Amino acid sequence: MTTFPQYLTSLDYLPLSNLFIPAEVPSSRLMILLHGRGGKSEDFSWIAENFDFDDMHYLLLNAPEAYEEGYSWYDSPESIRNTSKLLTKTFDILFEKEFDASKSFLFGFSQGALLTFEFAARYTDELAGYIAISGHLYDPDLLVKETHTKRKNSPWLCTHGTKDEALDFNTAKNQIDTLQKGGFNIAFHSYEKAHIINKEETTMIRQWIKTLRVDN
């Protein structure tokens, strides 16, 4: 097993505060992680060690608004649009020179899962893959209409817990069904879990990422 860096730094030139875990070897691969409501960037620092990709950088973003002990990405349709603009600026900077979008992944949990769809499906650059965990969508029908066919064909992975106490499972499943019928290439997995990410799920996600890695 790789010995992962035991330190965190930040990319202070980005519009959003963040924690950055560098890869152990030179690489242009990046995984961007979006926490849930009330969460914060360090909540996902364990992901890097669990995935154990020595050539993957990890960028853990903080949402723009303070909420309880952490941050929130949105509280209205307008704030979803505003946050998406911030993410656009952030991604444009990241993929201008230092990182390669085609070798990078977006990973969102809860509120972060909504933004993985609502923002990334409309973003200009195509990433290697998109992961949305335990989230609901704002407007799946509108998303189907506004998403370019090429982005629909991108690899999407979505999971949800049948015992999720925060965001109803059936609502999430029906929303994903709408996207799939609208042409989205989404692999959907359900787990007997609450509003968390569990070990079995993490193992599956890691394997899914491995199948999509661009090695050139």
CATH, residue 22: 3.40.50.1820
Examine residue 55 and state whether it is found in any structural domain, yes or no. yes
10 domain residue, yes or no: no
Number of domains in the chain: 1
CA distance linking residue 210 with residue 109, whole number of Å:
20
Q: What is the per-residue pLDDT across 71-122, written as a single tens digit (0 to 9) for each?
A: 999 999 999 999 999 999 999 999 998 899 999 999 999 999 999 999 999 9
Structural domain contains residue 12: no
Q: Which domain covers residue 23, as residue numbers?
A: 18-212
Residue 1 within a domain: no
- pLDDT in 10s for each residue of the chain, 216 residues: 344 444 568 899 999 999 999 998 999 999 999 999 999 999 999 998 899 899 999 999 999 999 999 999 999 999 999 999 999 999 999 999 889 999 999 999 999 999 999 999 999 999 999 999 999 999 999 999 999 889 999 999 999 999 999 999 999 999 999 999 999 999 999 999 999 999 999 999 999 999 986 554
Phi and psi based region of residue 143 (left: phi greater than 0; alpha: psi -120 to 50; beta: remaining):
alpha
**Distance between CA atoms of residues 111 and 109, nearest Å:** 6
Q: What are the residues whose beta carbons fall under 8 Å from the beta carbon of 210, sequence distance 6 or more?
A: none
The answer to the question of residue 62 being in a domain is yes
In a domain, 106, yes or no: yes
d(CA 69, CA 188): 31
Whether 158 is covered by a domain: the verdict is yes
In the Cβ-directed half-sphere of 169, how many Cα atoms lie within 13 Å? Answer: 16
DSSP conformation class of 92: H
Residue 130 lies in a domain: yes
What predicted TM-score, i.e. pTM, was given to this entire model?
0.93
